[in-house]
Amino acid sequence: MVKKMRNETDVSVVMPVYKVEKYIEESVKSICEQNFFGEYELILVDDGSPDLSIYKAEAVIKRYPKMNYRVVHKENGGLPSARNYGLNFIAGKYVCFIDSDDIIEEHHIQKLFDLCEEHELIASYADFELTKESNRNGKDFNDEGYEIIKRKELLDGFLTRELKIHCCSILFNTSYLHECELCFNEKLKYGEDIEFMWRLFPKLSQIGHVKVKTYKYLQRPNSIMTSQSNDKIVILCNEFRKVVDYNLNHYPEDKRIFEMLMGKAQLAFIKTAAETSKYDVFTSLLTLLNYKDNIILLNQIDSKKIRVLSWILLQNPMIFYIIVNIARKVKKI
């Protein structure tokens, strides 16, 4: 159901929906209860969900008669596909993506919108908090206002993770996404949000930062990445490599940052493979990845943990494998 014509809304919220009936009511409720003085809409993208997720979402929305929303349906294609499909139906000047198991605080949209409007920004983001099912309702009262981050600081901060940015905590200018033909990579089932930001951030001259945790990201027990095969990890690395090569061609002055980002990504993928695979499978992956040239650059990074892990991997992959799995087991104790 749509109560507004296209191009008459300030903000569109795109929410992919697939097998989240346990979480979606709280997520949709947090969107419906936004303290936003403009007009906003919710686009629910039913990604072929076989359960009652959409039914439960609409049951919540019906308690808020003024809420503008629309449900669109598609065959199951994964999270990137669902987000991209939702973009076809939005009417907002700005758009954000919210996962259907996450929640946002009541002033999330207003703060991001105000910052974009006041400073004529292409994008702004809020801090996010990793939560578990048992502690999702706490509020962040440590509001430190906002800041405008310039491009170099954005790229450096994204590399070092001093800037902790989640794709779903960003508000985007819709026209800019369309002009740059920016969408999510549907070849990826994991890491698509990071790959998207790799393509977005070099294009920005600046981004707004709301310095309060208004986005609650739910850490669920079973990560998609735990089921990735070597072939899928290789595809993942290849897609990230394409983005790096594109950025190197268009922004050669930032070569060091892009190559180190590639190294960090490869280290993360290799670490995950070590945690989830037998040793012979792990070593076969290493033979498929051209990782050493990028990993060696990580000895320049500020993070001591990353420097040590990358050095061990380069010196002795077996020791790397053992250490990673000991650390994983210790965390479970």
Give the C-alpha distances (Å, rounded to integers) separating 223 from 40, 150, 176, 189, 272: 31, 33, 32, 11, 11
Burial of 128 (0-12, 13-18, 19+ CB in 10 A): buried
Please answer whether residues 77 and 186 qualify as being in contact, where contact means their C-beta atoms are separated by less than 8 angstroms: yes
Q: How confident is the model at residue 136 (pLDDT cuts 50, 70, 90)?
A: low
**Number of domains observed in the structure of the chain:** 2
Query: Does one domain contain both 255 and 310?
Result: yes
Range with the lowest mean pLDDT among 32-36, 187-191, 214-218? Answer: 187-191
**Higher pLDDT pick, 160 / 292:** 292
Average pLDDT of the segment spanning 263-284: 90
Q: What range does the domain containing 315 cover? A: 225-332
Q: How confident is the model at residue 135 (pLDDT cuts 50, 70, 90)?
A: low
Largest Cα separation within the chain, whole Å, is 62
Among the three residues 202, 218, 234, which one is the final residue of a domain in this structure?
Answer: 218
Q: How confident is the model at residue 226 (pLDDT cuts 50, 70, 90)?
A: very low
Query: Does one domain contain both 200 and 234?
Result: no
> Above pLDDT 90, what percent of the chain?
73
Q: Which of 75, 20, 9 is CA-nearest to residue 43?
A: 9
18-59, pLDDT tens digit by residue? 999 999 999 999 999 999 999 999 999 999 999 999 999 999
Query: Does one domain contain both 62 and 32?
Result: yes
pLDDT at 263 > cutoff 60:
yes
Provide the CB-side half-sphere exposure for 274 (13 A, CA).
Answer: 22
Query: Does one domain contain both 84 and 99?
Result: yes
CA distance 271 to 196: 22
CA distance 246 to 259: 12
Query: Does one domain contain both 158 and 113?
Result: yes
Task: Indicate the SS3 state at residue 169.
Answer: helix
Q: How confident is the model at residue 329 (pLDDT cuts 50, 70, 90)?
A: confident
pLDDT at 60 > cutoff 50:
yes
Query: Does one domain contain both 268 and 209?
Result: no
53-61 and 24-32 helices cross at what angle (nearest 10)? 30
CA distance 187 to 315: 32
Q: How confident is the model at residue 333 (pLDDT cuts 50, 70, 90)?
A: very low
Range with the lowest mean pLDDT among 96-105, 137-146, 225-234, 264-273? Answer: 225-234
Strands (E) in the chain, as ranges, are: 9-17, 40-47, 68-74, 92-97, 103-104, 123-131, 146-150, 170-173, 206-218
**Whole-number pLDDT of residue 3:** 41
**Whole-number pLDDT of residue 8:** 74
Query: Does one domain contain both 168 and 38?
Result: yes
Q: Report CA Rg, the chain.
A: 20
pLDDT at 219 > cutoff 80:
no
Give the C-alpha distances (Å, rounded to integers) separating 327 from 124, 160, 230, 331: 36, 22, 22, 6
Pair of tokens at residue 81: 């596909």
The DSSP output letter for 223 is -
Average pLDDT of the segment spanning 252-279: 91
Among the three residues 192, 218, 244, which one is the final residue of a domain in this structure?
Answer: 218
Please answer whether residues 212 and 111 qualify as being in contact, where contact means their C-beta atoms are separated by less than 8 angstroms: yes
Query: Does one domain contain both 58 and 202?
Result: yes
Strands (E) in 18-117, as ranges, are: 40-47, 68-74, 92-97, 103-104
Q: How confident is the model at residue 107 (pLDDT cuts 50, 70, 90)?
A: very high
In a domain, 4, yes or no: no
Query: Does one domain contain both 240 and 96?
Result: no
In a domain, 3, yes or no: no
CATH number of the structural domain spanning residue 151 = 3.90.550.10
